[in-house]
Structure 1
């Protein structure tokens, strides 16, 4: 169900990571990884994308590991609009994430959402439904450009103080249906230990592809699994249904 010989999300020194592309590739070789997807974070003002892609292409000539050229992009609009850089050429994969909740009034960080939950301005089910709604629209948009993965689904809710266990099954089903309908794979993040078994099981039961992602910021974490090995064992023993 989960191929741990592939790492679907790593970072490099081009953005938030600590190591160069070549060092990350060497770490993948040492870990026995056969396929590696680069997913450095980009925004509308990112100017290093051509150099990034060229560096990955050069690295591919020196390794047997399959290297995928990808980026991580934030959904920033209530309509699913994303913070795309100007040039998306030659990208093979786009990883979709949400770190701030898009609302008609603007982007809300998790601390502000938590404060509005505490004051009664927002309700937990409203935040969950809005987040999933944005993700569904964003998946439709991203799918027009490249194959898509969903990074750390529902992480924003936890950061805003909303327990994932309180999220209604219907909301999970909506997210799973959108992933399946758009062909979006869900990343299982070793670094963030997300999604939970409940969410991963719901995705698997709905026929959504699950991919292993170290989300490594340093080379030493590339292709190193603990949480994912446990999660894979749990899912193989008792998959959940939606």
Structure 2
């Protein structure tokens, strides 16, 4: 089964400094039909005005993924990390027994746009952790987050993985989904044909009881998407 989640149907929150779109229920937005998909709990599409951001706040027992699509994040956390996260880099923060952090737009003139993604861990407590890496833009699927950290991927505390999909114009990728597994596809940029259905930027698709997906870019512009393999 493939259930499309259109960008325009997502939850909305606007605080002046932050304009956010929620794929799943989050904060004051609640929809019992959209509480997540398997261990995937949050995909927030955030835009932050110049010189603004999230003050210091806490998390625990959550795997928090950040992917910047425009601008630079200034990150600081209670583990002692002070980092800049530019376009195209992935950050994975394992909250463990507890961590505090802040995220700010590093520019005084340009907007910041990023995805914040939460995946529920399969173990609670433990030391918090921080990982950050760019994986480039190779054609096809590039694994970026895995349960084992194989081949230089970021290691997540869940039997889940995330891959970056990059499709040049008029190219196709096929994805095999193992038995009893679920998947989710989120389009970042471009127009993607997913098993013949058209998805644009911000659209997503819950996928279950499907063995193989056809992902096609028939347009002139490149497609960037995130593909989640979930328990």
The TM tier, using the shorter chain, reads 0.3 to 0.5
TM-score when scaled to structure 2?
0.34
TM-score (norm: length of structure 1): 0.33
If each structure's strand is expressed as a fraction of its own residues, which one has the higher value? 2
